[in-house]
């Protein structure tokens, strides 16, 4: 069993050292664990809520994607994509908007904080608040629920949003669960996600000792500006005025905490001791820079190479979107049917014209050099299953009737990691295409089941 981890990064800024230590490095390490199926994405629709400067958003998307790839994220292993490349997300957002309670959104921290600020200033409570800010948690719920994520690594400030995603997911399951299964979905429409808060991951302090954050203007750059910029920022870390030779308190400056984020126990201990023994702050800063640069220099080289070839990043993101949509697409298709927005031909209202339109799944028989066969074709015309070749046309007809009658129930069985088959009396009568990924195979099983279910409801 794998656990699906999913997290989004809002594309409004340039990654700094605090992002690297607190989010990027641990997320990439986690993605390498066996049993982890990681989905990481650029939350660029969310960026529009905070930022109306198109150049900044475009730049930030590029920098963030380059950073994650340079830091070792393997796009073949992780599904890395842009939110705005997945049209199923805004579509699901609307469906969820019609399920979530408005009162719940009134209580969202980010919205409430904005209202409180307005009230304090004596302004209209909703002054300058966009509907986007208000709807932010619904978009985030769609991000998570469309992929059935199990765990969502986030900071504490985001925990309320995960609870809202659970809430709306549960409500949807309650209202539409039956319709979802009738439309060919299996189990519940949505897995309810949990927030994953890494207690052991330190929040890195910034130059002035407060949490490193763009909003405090106390950050150390990660790659932008090169080693020179990182070094200059380190030289600005606030320290006390103790002279060289005087004992220093390692815990009274950010310097030691930052060092510790880049060193093991033993080296951190030695660094602490040197400070207590009177190492000059200037020397300590040199050592800190050297330490950080040992880790970052090879990554920076990759970052610069990637930034010089945005087309390579673009390709990686498009491939990620393709993998993500192979899951989101079929799920949304069943979701649409479940809420009553499926194709007319699949509804119980049967008319001649709906049949004639042919816009529904069907089984097509044909003959080729090897014998008599049939294929199951989805509503969009794609081939879902291809039968083996039968010498006798009556056997082929029997097999296709068995598929129509039983296929939707439990006879669609994985053959291996990339294919599945319709099994009947222990034989694979029809097999799927060869998918490159387990995820895609499973999504195709879901779609095939939905197609077979719709077949049943239109044919009798």
- Contacting positions for ligand TRP (CB under 6 A): 6-8, 10, 43, 46, 140, 143-144, 152, 154, 158
Rounded to a whole number of angstroms, the minimum distance from the CB of residue 327 to ligand TRP is: 15
* Closest chain position to ligand TRP (CB): 8
Ranges assigned E (strand) in 309-390: 362-368, 371-377, 383-387
**C-beta of 43 vs 275, nearer to ligand TRP:** 43
Q: Which is nearer to ligand TRP, 31 or 432 (CB)?
A: 31
C-beta of 212 vs 275, nearer to ligand TRP: 212
| Nearest-angstrom CA–CA distance, 84 and 324 | 12
Pick the closest to residue 328 from 135, 39, 1, 43 (CA basis): 39
CB 47 within 8 A of CB 282: no
Question: Could you tell me the smallest distance in angstroms from the CB atom of residue 152 to ligand TRP?
Answer: 5
At CA 212, angle to CA 65 and CA 200, rounded to 5? 85
Q: How many CA atoms lie within 13 A of 89 on its CB side?
A: 26
The residue assigned the tokens 């066969």 is 373
Task: List 8's β-bridge partners, or say none.
Answer: 41
Cβ closer to ligand TRP: 43 or 445?
Answer: 43
Q: Please say which residue, 10 or 448, places its beta carbon nearer to ligand TRP.
A: 10
Name the nearest CA neighbour of 320 among 107, 65, 64.
Answer: 65
DSSP E strands: which ranges in 182-234?
194-196
CB of 388 closer than 8 Å to CB of 375: no
Helix (H, G, I), strand (E, B) or coil at 164: helix
Alpha-carbon distance of 386 to 421, in angstroms, equals 9
**For residue 90, what are its two tokens?**
């805004």
Minimum distance of ligand TRP from residue 137's CB (angstroms): 9
Q: Which residues pair with 365 in a beta bridge?
A: 374
Q: How far is the CB of 175 from ligand TRP (least distance, A)?
A: 23
Q: How far is the CB of 9 from ligand TRP (least distance, A)?
A: 6
Which DSSP symbol is given to 211? B
CB-nearer residue toward ligand TRP: 157 or 217: 157
In the bound state with ligand TRP, the residue whose beta carbon lies nearer, of 10 and 218, is: 10
Question: d(Cα 157, Cα 159) in Å, to the nearest integer?
Answer: 6
CB 419 to ligand TRP: min, Å: 32
Question: Nearest distance from residue 290's CB to ligand TRP, in Å?
Answer: 32
């Amino acid at each position: 069993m794998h656990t699906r981890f999913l997290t989004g990064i809002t594309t409004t800024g340039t990654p700094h050292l605090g992002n690297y230590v607190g989010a990027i490095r641990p997320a990439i390490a986690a993605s390498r664990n066996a049993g982890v199926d990681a989905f990481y994405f650029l939350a660029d629709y969310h960026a529009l809520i905070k930022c109306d400067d198109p150049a900044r958003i475009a730049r930030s998307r590029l920098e963030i994607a380059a950073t994650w790839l340079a830091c070792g994220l393997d796009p073949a292993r992780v599904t890395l994509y842009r939110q705005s490349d997945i049209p199923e997300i805004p579509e699901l957002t609307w469906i969820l908007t019609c399920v979530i309670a408005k009162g719940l959104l009134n209580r969202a921290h980010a919205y409430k904080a904005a209202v409180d600020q307005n009230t304090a200033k004596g302004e209209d409570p909703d002054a300058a608040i966009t509907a986007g800010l208000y709807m932010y948690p619904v978009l985030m719920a769609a991000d998570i629920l469309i992929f059935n994520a199990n765990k969502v690594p986030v900071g504490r400030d985001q925990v309320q949003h995960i609870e809202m995603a659970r809430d709306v997911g549960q409500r949807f399951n309650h209202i539409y669960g039956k319709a979802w299964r009738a439309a060919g979905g299996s189990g519940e429409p949505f897995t309810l996600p949990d927030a994953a808060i890494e207690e052991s991951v330190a929040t890195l302090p910034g130059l002035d000792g407060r949490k490193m954050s763009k909003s405090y203007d106390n950050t150390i750059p990660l790659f932008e500006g090169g080693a020179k910029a990182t070094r200059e920022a380190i030289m600005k870390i606030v320290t006390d005025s103790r002279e060289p030779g005087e004992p220093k308190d390692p815990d009274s400056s950010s310097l030691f905490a930052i060092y510790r984020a880049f060193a093991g126990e033993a080296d951190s201990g030695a660094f602490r001791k040197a400070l207590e023994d009177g190492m000059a702050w200037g020397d300590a800063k040199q050592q800190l820079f050297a330490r950080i640069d040992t880790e970052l220099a090879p990554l920076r080289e990759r970052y610069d190479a990637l930034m010089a070839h945005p087309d390579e990043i673009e390709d990686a993101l498009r491939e990620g979107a393709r993998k993500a949509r192979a899951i989101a697409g079929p799920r949304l298709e069943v979701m649409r049917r479940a809420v009553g927005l499926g194709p007319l031909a699949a509804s119980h209202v049967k008319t001649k014209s709906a049949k004639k339109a042919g816009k529904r799944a069907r089984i097509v028989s044909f003959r080729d050099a090897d014998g008599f066969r049939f294929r199951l074709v989805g509503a969009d015309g794609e081939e879902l299953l291809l039968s083996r070749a039968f010498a006798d046309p009556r056997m082929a007809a029997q097999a296709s009737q068995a598929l129509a009658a039983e296929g939707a129930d439990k006879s669609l069985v994985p053959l291996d990691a990339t294919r599945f088959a319709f099994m009947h009396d222990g034989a694979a009568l029809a097999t799927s295409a060869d998918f490159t990924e387990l995820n895609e195979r499973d999504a195709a099983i879901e779609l095939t089941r939905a197609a077979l279910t719709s077949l049943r409801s239109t044919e009798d």
